[in-house]
Every structure is written in C-alpha cells, then in structure tokens.
C-alpha cells in the first residue's frame, strides 16, 4: 500500500515538473518572438529615417505638380511610420529596440527613465540573450514603480570596464521585503510561479557569461548591478 502511495506521489510530482517545463519553454518562446518583432520594427524605422530626404523630394514633386491629395496621403503614411520615435539610441540595435519599446509605458505611467550608455565596442553576446536580459531588467523595474503612487523612476547605466560590461539599474520600492523575494529568486506578484521566470532568466544569462549579479537596497531604492566578463570586442 505504501509503495502504491509513493508511486502515485512520484508520478504526480513528475507530471507537475513536466507541465512547469512546458509552460516555461512556451513563455520563453513567446518572449523570443516578441523580441524579434521589436528588433524588426526598430530596424525598419531606422531604415525609413535614413531615406527621409528621398521622401521629402517625393513630397516636393507632388506639391509642385498640384497633386495635393496624393501628397496628403503620402504624408499620412510617413506620420504613421514615424509614430514610434527613436528616443533611446545606442550602437546596439537590440538594446535600443528593447528600450524604445518601453517609452510609451514610461510616459503613460509617469516613470522618469534616466538612461546613460557608454559602450564603444561590440557586445559579443547572443542577440536574444541581450534582448532578454534588458527586457527583464526594465520590466521588473517598471512593475516595481507601478506599485508606487508617485516618485516613479528608473536609472539605467551601461558602461564598459575594459572588456567587461557593467549594467546598473535602480528603482524605488515600497516594501523592504522586496529584496528578500528577489534574493530567493521569487516574485512578489500574485502569479509568482510564472513571473519568477524573469528573475531566473537574468540569472541564467549572467551565469552563461561568467558574470556576477548583485542586489542591494539604499535609501528605499533597489539597485541591481550586473557585471558580464569578457563580452566586449575591441
């Protein structure tokens, strides 16, 4: 009888682990698809802006030939394409894509985003790792801000120290216990099991590049500092 109970218990645990693995894999796949769409959209916008002089020339010719309706339609198409402004520009397409995708969220929720980027070399990391790392760092900081009624801000500094990449992101918190949840790689959100994937993903990427990931609190501000070793090419 005891053996049967153990068998059923072990089977249930295996089934639970299997289902959790499927959910995690599907979540990560959806994230990768989302990152790729952001990258494609951002690249398309940059290409469009590169050709802006040609668009001006077309508009001029349409107006010169009294084709005002055509000019209006052409101009409306231009406005539609440039509705997403390139606010945060870096020499890394993937970082720029992720950060610019948050711009409207920052504005809608009155989050002051202070960003500095001083990396003059190529980041030798998998592109999806770059996207996932910055996306999860910023979304975590954003969600922490949404728990506050005012004084919302995110400070993100990215800099190279020799051939190492230093990433430091800071945001205010309303609960000092937040650091305990994070240190245990849990989430304080209701759907903790799934949302904890973001913290785990950050840890996995940092470990993949032999880095260090540290959290600390100073004056009700959560500071997450990451160092990725030997990921820059000079």
Model confidence pLDDT, tens digit, residues 86-108? 678 899 988 988 898 888 889 99
Model pLDDT, residue 198: 79
- Tens of pLDDT, residue by residue over 189-204, are 545 554 566 788 899 9
Q: Where are the domains of the chain?
A: 85-233
Whether the per-residue pLDDT at 125 is higher than 60: the answer is: yes
Instruction: Locate 182 and state its tokens.
Output: 């994070």
What is the model's pTM? 0.67
**DSSP one-letter string for 39-89:** HHHHHHHHHHHHTHHHHHHHHHHHHHTT-HHHHHHHHHHHHHHTSS---S-
Model pLDDT, residue 18: 42
Task: Provide the percentage of residues in the chain whose pLDDT is more than 70.
Answer: 63
**DSSP one-letter string for 161-224:** ETTEEEEEEEEE-S-TTHHHHHHTT--SSTTHHHHHHHHHHHHHHHHHTT-EEEEEEETTEEEE
Whether the per-residue pLDDT at 78 is higher than 90: the answer is: no
Kindly report the CATH class assigned to 85-233.
alpha beta
Q: Count, in order, helices (H) and strands (E) of the chain.
A: 8, 7
Model pLDDT, residue 189: 59
More confident position, 106 or 15:
106
- Tens of pLDDT, residue by residue over 165-196, are 999 999 998 776 666 666 666 556 545 554 56
Residue 62: pLDDT band with limits 50, 70, 90: confident
As a whole number of angstroms, the distance between CA 194 and CA 199 comes to 10
As a whole number of angstroms, the distance between CA 57 and CA 100 comes to 28
Find the mean pLDDT for residues 148-162: 95
């Amino acid at each position: 009888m005891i053996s049967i109970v153990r068998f059923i218990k072990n089977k249930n645990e295996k089934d639970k682990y299997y289902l959790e693995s499927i959910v995690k894999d599907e979540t990560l796949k959806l994230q990768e698809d989302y990152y790729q769409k952001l990258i494609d959209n951002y690249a398309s916008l940059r290409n469009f802006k590169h050709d802006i002089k040609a668009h001006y020339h077309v508009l001029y010719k349409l107006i010169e030939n009294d084709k005002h309706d055509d000019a209006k339609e052409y101009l409306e198409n231009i406005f539609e394409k440039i509705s997403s402004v390139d606010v945060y520009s870096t020499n890394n397409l993937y970082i720029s894509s992720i950060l610019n995708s948050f711009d409207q969220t920052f504005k809608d929720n009155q989050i002051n985003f202070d960003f500095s980027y001083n990396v003059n070399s190529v980041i030798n990391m998998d592109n999806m790792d770059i996207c996932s790392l910055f996306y999860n760092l910023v979304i975590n900081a954003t969600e922490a801000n949404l728990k506050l009624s005012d004084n919302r801000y995110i400070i993100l500094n990215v800099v190279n120290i020799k051939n190492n990449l230093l990433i430091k992101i800071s945001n205010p918190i309303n609960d000092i216990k937040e650091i305990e949840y994070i240190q245990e790689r849990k989430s304080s959100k209701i759907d903790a099991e799934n949302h904890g994937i973001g913290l785990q993903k950050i840890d996995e990427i940092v470990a993949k590049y032999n880095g260090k990931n540290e959290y600390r609190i100073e004056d009700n501000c959560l500071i997450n500092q990451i160092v990725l070793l030997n990921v820059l090419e000079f």
